[in-house]
Each structure stands twice: as structure tokens, then as C-alpha cells.
Copies of this chain bind each other. A is one copy, B any other.
Amino acid sequence: VSRIARAPRAYLVCVGSELLAGQVNTHQAWLSVRLRRAGFDVAGESSLPDSVSEIKAAMRRALGAADAVIVCGGLGPTFDDLTREAAAAALGRGIRFVPGLWRTIRARFARYHVAVPEQNKRQAEVIEGAEVLANDNGSAPGQRLEFRGADGRARSLILLPGPYAEMAPIFRRVLPRLADRHARGAGAASFTLRLVGVPESVADERLDAVRARFPDASFTILASGGEVSFHATVRAATRAAARKQSAALRAAALKAVGRWCYGEGDATLESTVGLRLKKKRLTLAVAESCTGGLLGGRLTSVPGSSAWFRGGVIAYDNSVKSKLLGVSAALLKKRGAVSQECAEAMARGARKAAGADLGVAITGIAGPDGGTKEKPVGLVHLAVSGPGRALRARRLDIHGPRESVRARAAGAALALLKEAVDDPS
């Protein structure tokens, strides 16, 4: 029996007063996902104001609780960028000015024909013993410190710049080395299944038996916007053993929930739909009423979507449904704009208007006003139309505020579209 190593722990420290003043912290989720995939447990996160004493105290606490501590932010050139000083104080080390680094920073500014402010000299200051992590997208380099804690265990402290475009590439480069250092003598393997069309509770229940069979793995289920993602990480004595177990776990999970699985890893519903349309050489058009463009916005978030997405009509007003999509006034009068019949007519109309193979339509009542007893807020009708394909329609009854109704309607339309593309019968 192979000895399973304890999962290495990571802790996140996010520095910047803006995180306590209304700016959403997206680094936390981004870093957590990648650390987990690399085999780390993420033990906690702290957001701190720009204060040396608080940053220092948080780093010390984090280094006591975790093997690897990732700090984002506070490496800029201004007076309130204090992460370097705090890290040096937390470790009891000095800071030195590195002339070579200062030359690199000046060269960077010269490329953009900008004079270097004298205060940027601070960005050439490096903590004693730190490795400099080059920043190709900004002037603040990252820093990496390796040492042993009082308990003799290996520790890493990684300092990263705050802006996403600078932080992400540096973190991607340093992560494999971080995992190697803290997962020595053991291996990790992981996967993520992306599900749609199943409630979180049902997926959870079906996966219960799978989890019981793999007690050494760690699992997460996340539900968001009508989708569910299931992540598993396996740790074993060797990387090969971890991979083998992960493959067995993945097969068991797919047996339990595979019928709802549309993709793995970083796949999104829109990128999956796009790939399948491209493969089948089909083009798509949208007709959106209550979502007002959200579906088109998601589809065109996929790079290269012009290969399969033609465009469509935002038919918010009924006159637009009639004029641009050919929905008849009689149908609107008899069935109303929020009806299966109208959704079907809109899907056909979008296909025709934009000259596409497939048309997808959304019409519903997003609220807060406009609901009636027969057609309450949250009622949404979807339809997909295509040549050689049966017309598909779906009715949704969504509970929640306006933003949830709209987001879920767009997600459900993508799911219906995927079904129609996969199974033309």
C-alpha cells in the first residue's frame, strides 16, 4: 500500500485597499482553481489594506498555516505599495537594490518612449535571497523565496504584482516548480467535469458513491448560472499512481453524471457549442427578447466565433419581433410574446434574417414588473430551429431576481442549442 502524502497547503494574501472598497477580488477564485488543480489544498485567503504591519502579520500567520503563501499586489512604485517591506520584515531579511533590474525597468520604459519616474527605483528592490520572477507585462517583477519553517518543513513565499495581466503569466510559470517542491515524493492528478441540465443536488447525490470509493481524493461541486462543475484531485505516492487513480475516478464519475457532461477543464458551454458548430460546419443566429443580447455576448466571447456565429436580432419590442423576425401580429395577439409559439417563430426568423443554419430564440418575463398570474415573472420560452432538425422548445420557470432570470435563460438556451447540435433527430 502506497503512503499518501498530506496535501500541501496554500494560503492567499491579497493586498490593496481597493479590495475593501468595492473592487471585486477575482484573483482569489482564479488562483484557488489553479492551486487545487496542481494538488494544493487552499487553506484560506485574506484581503488586507495597504499597511506594512497588517501585511506582515498576515504573512506570518499564513506561513504558520500553509506550505506555500501567495501574495498579490503592493509591488507598484508608489508610497502605498508595501508588500516588499512587509515580506522582508516578516522573514527578518534585508532588502537590496539590484542595478541590473533597474536597467531592465528603464529599458522597458524606453521602449514605450516614456521617462522613468524616480520612484520606480523601488521596483528594483529585492528581498535578500529572493529569486526575481520576470514580469513581461509591467514594471513590477515578482519575487520567490524558499526557506524552512521552524518545524523544518519547506516553505515558499511568492510575491506577485496585482494587475491580472501581470500576475497570471508569472503565476503560471512558477506553479509547476511550487508543486514540485511541496509535493515531493508524491504525485497529484485532477480533472474537472462541466455539467448542464442537472440540479446540483441530483449531481451531488449521484456522485456520493463515487466519492465513497475514493477516500483519498478531494472533491468540489460548484453550481453557478444553471451549470454544475465537479472537480476531483487525487494524491498518491507517485505521479503515475495518481494519474491511474484519477483516470479510474473520472471513469466512475462519468458513469454517474456523464449524460449531463458537456466538457472538461476550462471548457465553457459557449466554447463547447462553438466547437461543435465549427466541426459540423453549421452557422448560428440568435433572437433575444428578455436577455437583450446576453446570449450573443456569451457566444461572441469565444475567440474565433466569427467562423460559426452570424449575428441576430435583439427583439425587445414586439414591433421588432414582427418587422425583423417575421413574427405575425396574429400570433403575438393570440399567444403573446412570451409563448412557445412566439419563441419558435423567433428562432425561425433569426435563422432566415441572418442567413444561418440554426436559429435560437429566448423570450420571457425577467421582472421585476410585467408578470401576470398566467405568465409570472421568471417564465421563459426557448426554441431552436434548423433545417433537417426537429424544432426544439423548452419552457423555464426561474425563481430569482431579474439578473438571475436573464443569466439562467441565456445558459439554458446554450444547453438546448447543444442538444440540438448533438442530436439532430
Contacts and interface: CB of A to CB of B under 8 A. Distances in A.
Contacts of A311: 292, 313-317, 320, 324
A104 interface: no
A288 B25 CA distance: 30
A42 B28 CA distance: 18
How many copies altogether? 2
Given A26-B24, A316-B309, A317-B311, A220 B303 contact: no
Instruction: Summarize A's interface: helix, strand, loop or mixed.
Output: mixed
A290 B297 contact: no
B300 A292 contact: yes
Given A17-B220, A45-B46, A231-B21, A314 B301 contact: no
A312 to B, nearest CB: 5
Given A300-B291, A300-B293, A47 B49 contact: no
A287 to B, nearest CB: 10
Given A297-B292, A305-B316, A316-B311, A32 B26 contact: no
A324 to B, nearest CB: 6
A413 to B, nearest CB: 12
Contacts of A382: none
Given A224-B23, A316-B311, A354-B324, A303 B18 contact: no
Given A310-B317, A355-B323, A32 B22 contact: yes
Interface string A197-241: 000000000000000000000001010100001010000000000
A19 interface: yes
A25 B20 contact: no
Given A293-B288, A324-B324, A369 B45 contact: no
Interface in A349-371: 353-355, 366-370
A313 B316 contact: no
A45 B317 CA distance: 44
Contact of A301 (B17, B32, B319, B403): B403
Interface residues of A, number: 73
Contact of A319 (B23, B42, B310, B317): B310
Nearest to A313: B313
Interface string A18-45: 1111111110110011001000001111
A36 B354 CA distance: 49
A165 interface: yes
Contact of A293 (B33, B44, B314): B314
A28 B29 contact: no
A316 B47 CA distance: 41
Contact of A316 (B24, B300, B316): B300
Given A44-B54, A300-B292, A369-B303, A313 B310 contact: no
A299 interface: yes
A142 B305 CA distance: 46
Given A301-B406, A368-B303, A24 B24 contact: yes
A113 to B, nearest CB: 14
B296 A309 contact: no
A129 interface: no
A26 B312 CA distance: 32
Nearest to A65: B54
Given A21-B36, A311-B315, 8 more contacts: A22-B222, A291-B297, A292-B299, A300-B366, A303-B368, A303-B402, A323-B353, A323-B355
19 contacts: A19-B32, A21-B42, A22-B222, A24-B24, A24-B26, A25-B25, A44-B46, A45-B46, A288-B296, A291-B297, A292-B299, A293-B293, A293-B296, A293-B314, A310-B317, A313-B313, A313-B324, A320-B353, A324-B354
Interface of A: 17-26, 28-29, 32-33, 36, 42-49, 54, 165, 220, 222, 224, 229, 231, 286, 288, 290-297, 299-301, 303-306, 309-317, 319-320, 323-324, 353-355, 366-370, 400-403, 406
